[in-house]
Structure 1
Amino acid sequence: MPEFKVVVADPEKARSYQVDVKGEDAEKLIGKRIGDVIDGEIVGLPGYKLKITGGTDKDGFPMRPDIHGPVRVRPLLSGPPGFRPERKGERRRKTVRGNTISEDIVQVNTVIVKYGDKPVEELLGEGGEEE
């Protein structure tokens, strides 16, 4: 059974919330890609819509939206995510993960794009972290 830590960013309050997702709800995330909009019911936010913005795998490698599939590759990068150049024009070969969620992914980053009836603090608790 897959298990994910879903980080939900609330742009209105400038806070983020971490939710552990297991079982059937976690299986609904497998196969989704960066940029897909999912139902907030998966993380306990009924009426909300969440957009997947990225994530990391079990070894800490970040997901990139321009690499297709659930693969781990070593492309030549010139910018984030996965590499932040120190000099202008610098490029480097770094290991990154593709844009599709698989069982190797541990953390999934999301942002709220449509709000529900109840506030986020009431549904997920006051455990928000400052961004």
Structure 2
Amino acid sequence: MPFKINVADKGKTFKVETENEDLVGQKIGDKVDGKVFSDDLEGYELEITGTSDKAGFCGLPDVEGSRLKKVLLSYERGMHKRPKHEGKKVRSNVNPKGLRLRKTVRGNEISLETVQINTKVLKEGKKKFDALFVVPAPEGVPSEDGKAPAEATEAPKEEEKKE
């Protein structure tokens, strides 16, 4: 199963997919060479900041191993807001003080069950980060100049019918 890697640097995040199984056994917080993820990221040093498995359970750095575990959480990583109560009146305090819930989380080790890996750039390589991931402009959308693309302004050509 391929890993979906999110590479973040200064407010920009780009996605890379890889099936490299050298990542299995790495932990959250480990520093990894960028070439493990993609040949384009050669020379980059990346830090693994988080993971998520195929069921959507997040990986916590405090839980050792790659197993699923139920842990008691307060408002932090893995627990975001109070659960919704269907059909009840909306309360103003969505984060009551002292609320702790038992949630299922995955351990801090990357396994074959892991699908998504979040990383951040610690050291940049030879190539600039923005040059590695060029995003093509969608068709029919005006460019930065405010002019429509030349192809979009021309009338569509009609095909000749062969009889």
Q: Indicate the TM-score class for this superposition, using the shorter chain for normalisation.
A: 0.7 to 0.9
Structure 1 residues 42-83: Cα deviation after superposition (integer angstroms, max 9, x where no partner): 223011000000010000000100000001011111132111
- How many angstroms does 1:39 deviate by? 0.4
Residue in 2 aligned with 1:49?
45
Q: Distance in 1 between matches of 2:99 and 2:46?
A: 34
Residue number among 34, 40, 45 corresponding to 1:40 in the alignment: 34
Residue number among 56, 60, 66 corresponding to 2:62 in the alignment: 66
- The sequence identity of aligned pairs, in percent, is 43
Q: Distance in 2 between matches of 1:122 and 1:113?
A: 17
User: Aligned pair count?
Assistant: 121
Residue in 2 aligned with 1:100?
109
- SS, match of residue 7 in structure 2: strand
- SS, match of residue 121 in structure 1: helix
Residue in 2 aligned with 1:82?
78
Q: Distance in 2 between matches of 1:41 and 1:123?
A: 13
| Structure 2 counterpart of 1:116, one-letter code | G
* Contact map agreement 1:9 1:16 (CA 8 A) in 2: yes
Question: If you compute each CA radius of gyration, which structure gives the higher value, 1 or 2?
Answer: 2
Q: How does 1:115-126 map to 2 (within 5 A)?
A: 115-126=124-135
Taking structure 2 as the reference length, the TM-score comes to 0.71
Please tell me the root mean square deviation across aligned C-alpha atoms, in Å: 1.3
Taking structure 1 as the reference length, the TM-score comes to 0.87
Residue number among 9, 21, 25 corresponding to 1:31 in the alignment: 25
Q: Distance in 1 between matches of 2:42 and 2:50?
A: 22
- SS, match of residue 122 in structure 1: helix
Q: Distance in 1 between matches of 2:133 and 2:115?
A: 20
Q: Tell me whether 1:8 sits opposite 2:15 in the alignment.
A: no
Q: Which has a greater percent of strand?
A: 1
- How many angstroms does 1:4 deviate by? 0.2
